Amino acid sequence: MRFSLPAGPGRRAREIRQELYAQHVSLSSRRDATLEVTCVIAREVDAPPGIKAIEWHLLSNRPVETLVAFVDLVD
């Protein structure tokens, strides 16, 4: 995934390239229930030296098996 990050306080504008990953996760509650979710991770590739890479996580109860399913999820 690619996008332009605008400049902000103390930050220059730059182009971001992220790789997407999906992992199925089981979350347990205190009531002995389990919730099956998909964790989608977008992690920046080749962040500039000295700059913290941009990474975000999305938990969804909708299955994400393909990139098309992910696009449908966030669209």
Q: Give the Cβ contact number of residue 37 at 10 Å.
A: 18
Check residue 28 and report its DSSP letter: E
- How far is Cα 41 from Cα 30, in angstroms, rounded to an integer? 26
Model pTM score: 0.71
- Say what the pLDDT of residue 60 is: 87
In three-state secondary structure terms, 74 is helix
Contact, 58 vs 72, CB < 8 A? no
Give pLDDT tens digits for 6-48.
999 989 999 999 998 888 899 998 888 998 898 889 999 999 9
- How far is Cα 37 from Cα 52, in angstroms, rounded to an integer? 27
pLDDT at 72 over 80: no
